Amino acid sequence: MRYPIPAQTQTNQRRASDPDVSAWVSAHAGSGKTHVLTQRVVRLLLAGVAPSRLICLTFTKAAAANMSARVFGMLAGWTLADDETLRAKIEETGAKPPKDLNDARKLFAAAVETPGGLKIQTIHAFCERVLHLFPFEANVPAEFRAAEDLERAELLALARRETLAAAASDAILGAALARVAEETSEGGFETILNAALAQREALEDVETLIARLPTALELSSDDDEASILRAIVEDGIHWSEWRAIADTLGGGSANDKKQALKLRQAAEHAPDSACIEDYFSLFFTQKGAPLERVATNNIAKIAPDLPRKLIEEGQRLLALRDKLRVVRTLDRTVALLRLAAACLQRYEALKRARGVLDFDDLIERTRALLTREGAAAWTLYKLDRGVDHILVDEAQDTSEAQWAILEALASEFTSGAGARLQRRTFFAVGDEKQSIFSFQGASPQSFGRMRNLFRARVEAADQTFDPVPLELSFRSARNILDAVDLVFSSPEARKGLNADPQEPPPRHSALKHDIPGMVEIWEPIAGSKQPDPAEWTLPLDLPRETSPPAELAERIAAKIKSFISPSSRERVHDSQSGALRAIRPGDVMILVRRRDAFFEAMVRALKAKEVPVAGADRLEIASHIAVMDLVAASRVALAPQDDYALACVLKSPLIGLDDSDLIDLAPHRPGSLDAALRASPESRHAHAAKKISRWRTWADGARPFEFFSRLLGQDGGRRAFLARLGAEAGDAIDEFMSLALEYERGEAPSLAAFIHEVETLDLTVKRDMESADVVRVMTVHAAKGLEAKIVFLPDTCALPPASRNTLFTLPGHAGAALAWSPRKDEDASVATACREKANEDIGDEYRRLLYVALTRAEERLYVCGHYGLRTRPAGCWYDLVVAGLDEALADIEDETAPGGRIRRFGAPSVGDESAPFSHAQTMTAPDWLFAQIAHEREAAPPLRPSSALSGADGIEEPMRAAGAMTSAGVMRGLLVHQLLQSLPPIAEEQRAAAAQRYLRAQAPGMSLDACAALTQEVLNALALAEAAPLFATSSRAEVTIAARIPLSGKSPIEIAGRIDRLAEVGAEVWIADFKTGAPPEKTPPSYVAQLALYGAAVRELYADRKVRAFILWTATPRLQEIPATSMEIALAEL
């Protein structure tokens, strides 16, 4: 159904797409950002802007593909439209139709045929293109490629291993490693090292960074741990007084006696550093807060000045404790930075050796290229001549480094030579309320700051900058949007929603004003104490059937099942016609904040009720059950003694046995499980043993991709996985096979090495969740940009976890300054402030995440939740939603709901019971679809002319291929061929020396005279004037060729071989074979036949040229041409 767009919205859309002005569009969720961006691209093209002179940047490949499809779809529709229709379509964009409408019809061809294409791409793709254009200026390999996740993880792991190995022989690096190891566990070590490696720009000059840290931490040159420790025990209450004070405290109350015990323990170790923590415990709580009273009033009666003296000592120690923590923070930070810098250096070296850049490199190298003094001016000048308009989609997701690139690109638009007569514009569209990717460096503050910066620049150049709001939602029903406005009407819920805290509450309006819409709130399910399960074999993290997550998942699954049942009267509106229709599984989206126990319980509950479900939106490849089974199968194939891997495989879909089979086979067996399986008389066990034996045959020398292809295809593995695990397994298997193929391209194709890589690397793959009519269970982050008729929010009763970041960027300092504080209870004040700011930012993003979640719904929104034994935390999503809607909610009795009621805002759409229901159509797959393809009889091997026809020089082709050297004659022939192949590109005066070096390396036993004679023989052959075309720079050596040669009156003959030399000489093609002997009186027929076959094959490739064949005799030397008639006779006699 097509709704009329309000005039104000149309005006705003046309302002935003105006190609003559720079615009910054702040767009609410669902307000048509992509539509406006598409219109602006099209209007720029209509205004005469060449496709090559605009760049449209977005942040995912899917978004770029969607944008391209929309632009090209619109332009393609114009090519065949009649004048009236085309004029109307152009006016819809806000543009004025051109006088000649054929100009508009030609835009599609212009966009398609532009060299390099219309540049609608991700920012990473753009950066990659820029770096390929300016490799020298950017200091990157000229032919670099972008490393995929697998290769990046592999190189990082290798760099870490090399760094740890180097620490054994490097005193400074070893000390740094030891210091870092003191502060971390095994898992924590990799985490903090990766966090440090993310600061790669700062680590490039680590010593400067280290030298900057004391000032950033407000330490003087005199501050060190020893002096501070000495001040603690000597400058206030001297350590020698501690025992006497302890005795005095021992005469007081019970609390005083406890204090006395602490002080005595400190005195036992004084003045060594071991006394410090005991001494601090006298003055501070376990959480580190200063005690209000160190001694009770009873002590004042015994020693009147002591309580005051202890309070003053506590105040003195408070400052010293913080300074001690700062010094220790500096010490551990320096160690971490040195270790990370060494690891980064090795990682960069590994990337250079492979000629690759990772995704972070693409951004950082481009940013450096465009902002570095010297190279930047030249690069911008070259780019500036090709870019007049920049468009940025999802601007709220842009990181600081990416903004720096965009700022540099647009810097010439408003200054210098860039301020040309033609209009040049910058356009950005985004919504700071949807900035939820802080882990990628994005923030609402950056969005607002860059808006102000671009506005100032554009207006300073006396150009127009138009800030355009888009507030009309094309997605959600009125009640959904009203609910969103009510939720975020309070300052508490709105905190962090916008960069400017004074920004008024959001106000949304709905295009679909006549669709009712509904928000329904269920009472959250609270946990209760449960007895331990009797079944001890259950996984520890398995949600119990009566646990809150499992109970809520069961209720949601039942609700969805009722939606899609044929008897359901529940309806939603069709997106195209606007008519009410039955609810389909694809109409439902379930959004969570984390992939935790509830996530798994939800998918299980839907499957149990036979509700079509997509499964996980992200797959962790190594831990996916299908991939684990494939890895186990390869282990069984490679290591028959691996009983555990065999047990896993026997129960997997690949074999299909169960626990009873293992109980029959495993207990009391005399040998290995493999032996027990082979000895079993059971037919199903014999079938399994036969299958595993087949795997072992395949694994013998097989490449990873080949082995798993057979296992999944020929052996039926894929079909078995999909039957048991569902379509999700197909995605995991496909990605696993892609990894196998990618691994073979960069590494030795070892099956054992590949499975080791898979098991040790952390790889996650995002799945396409929009293609099938199934319920989607996904995180809010993954749902960004998606929508659904019905949305469930079940993960609403938990606050976000505190920041796990322990490497803090210190604010307010010129240049980077970092501080590593791994434990909160040891934070110095500077780290405490950073940690509090990080937690505040997490809370702000938590509320922005709620905005994104609420605005995914089109017609229905269900808010529910669960929590454990503890009280539901204040400020969680559930509380925010209820607080905003409380006065507008209607209480409705519902016996199936927790508490016997639900609360509702708005009403759902229902239909007549007789309304048609759309049943999913299923059919049984035909048997032939999964049948194994019959093996064809292998064809006879192709004829190899140089071996089958007696073998020139007495060197048969198989011997050449295998490198066999069984005699001096064979050795000499091979050396001559190799020199004739490799010397022509070398300068003539350098050939003799190069030949000598080669012969010394390849034939160390050859005498000096023999070397000299062989070298001269080759040089004489190369010097033949008539042979010069064969060794020209355009000629090729050792040309592999395979062909089917038609023979008159006979069956075609297949050949495969190598032509020693091939050259294109004007209108002719010359081929030559090298012979190291002297030319005989009569050319052997086998030589003629060999060249005849090669000539016939080459003639198939060069049908319009004359092919001439030669033998180059090196001993004489002499170039002998074989007449065409002789070759025709030789072919006829084959």
Taking a C-beta distance cutoff of 8 angstroms, is the pair 30, 511 a contact? no
Q: Which of 270, 304, 324 is the last residue of a domain?
A: 324
Q: How far is CA 449 from CA 58, 446, 639, in A?
A: 19, 5, 60
- Residue 306 belongs to some domain of the structure: yes
Q: Which two tokens stand for residue 1114?
A: 């090196």
How far apart are the C-alpha atoms of 188 and 182, rounded to whole Å?
Answer: 11
643 and 751 within one domain: yes
1091 and 979 within one domain: yes
- Residue 933 belongs to some domain of the structure: no
Low-confidence ranges of the chain (pLDDT < 50): 417, 540, 914-915, 917, 919-920, 950-966
Q: Which two tokens stand for residue 338?
A: 């040195």
- Residue 491 belongs to some domain of the structure: no
How far apart are the C-alpha atoms of 343 and 332, rounded to whole Å?
Answer: 17
- Residue 1067 belongs to some domain of the structure: yes
Report the candidate in 486, 154, 97 with the shortest Cα–Cα distance to residue 351. 154
- Give the per-residue SS3 of 790-835: EEEECCCCCCCCCCCCCEEECCCCCCCCEEECCCHHHCCHHHHHHH
Residue 1013 sits at φ, ψ, to 5 deg, of: -65, -45
Taking a C-beta distance cutoff of 8 angstroms, is the pair 817, 774 a contact? no
Taking a C-beta distance cutoff of 8 angstroms, is the pair 825, 287 a contact? yes
For residue 287, what are the domain limits?
225-324
413 and 559 within one domain: no
pLDDT at 954: 39
Taking a C-beta distance cutoff of 8 angstroms, is the pair 844, 496 a contact? yes
In angstroms, how far is CA 818 from the centroid of its own chain? 26
How far apart are the C-alpha atoms of 369 and 358, rounded to whole Å?
Answer: 16
- Residue 523 belongs to some domain of the structure: yes
pLDDT at 1002: 87
- Residue 690 belongs to some domain of the structure: yes
797 and 754 within one domain: no
pLDDT at 966: 46
Long-range contacts from 224-231, C-beta under 8 angstroms, 24+ separation: 224/327, 225/324, 225/327, 225/328, 225/331, 228/320, 228/323, 228/324, 228/327, 229/273, 229/276, 229/324, 230/271, 231/320
Report the candidate in 801, 823, 812, 622 with the shortest Cα–Cα distance to residue 192. 823
790 and 688 within one domain: no
1087 and 955 within one domain: yes
pLDDT at 964: 39
Q: Which of 741, 763, 785 is the last residue of a domain?
A: 763
Helices (runs of H) and strands (runs of E) counted in the chain: 47, 31
- Residue 437 belongs to some domain of the structure: yes
422 and 306 within one domain: no
**CATH number where 711 lies:** 1.10.486.10
- Residue 480 belongs to some domain of the structure: no
**CATH number where 978 lies:** 3.90.320.10
Sign of CA dihedral 871, 874, 877, 879: positive
240 and 203 within one domain: no
Burial string for 136-154 (b: 16+ CB within 10 Å, else e) reads ebbebbeebebbbbbbbbb
**What domain count does the chain have?**
6
Q: How far is CA 56 from CA 49, 63, 90, 223, 425, in A?
A: 13, 11, 21, 53, 12
pTM comes to 0.76
Quickly tell me which residue has 């138009």 as its tokens.
466
Sign of CA dihedral 124, 127, 129, 132: negative
178 and 272 within one domain: no
DSSP-assigned states of every residue in 183-224: H--HHHHHHHHHHHHTTHHHHTTHHHHHHHHHHHTT--TT--
1050 and 979 within one domain: yes
696 and 563 within one domain: no
Q: Parallel, antiparallel, or unpaired: how do β-strands 389-392 and 119-122 relate?
A: unpaired
Count of residues for the chain? 1134
How far apart are the C-alpha atoms of 102 and 109, rounded to whole Å?
Answer: 12
How far apart are the C-alpha atoms of 875 and 844, rounded to whole Å?
Answer: 12
652 and 733 within one domain: yes
Taking a C-beta distance cutoff of 8 angstroms, is the pair 1109, 1072 a contact? yes
Q: How far is CA 147 from CA 75, 102, 355, 359, 401, in A?
A: 35, 44, 9, 7, 20
CA dihedral 682, 688, 692, 695 (to 10 degrees): 140
At 1104, which amino acid appears? D
Residue 560 sits at φ, ψ, to 5 deg, of: -65, -40
DSSP-assigned states of every residue in 518-529: EEEEEPPEEP--
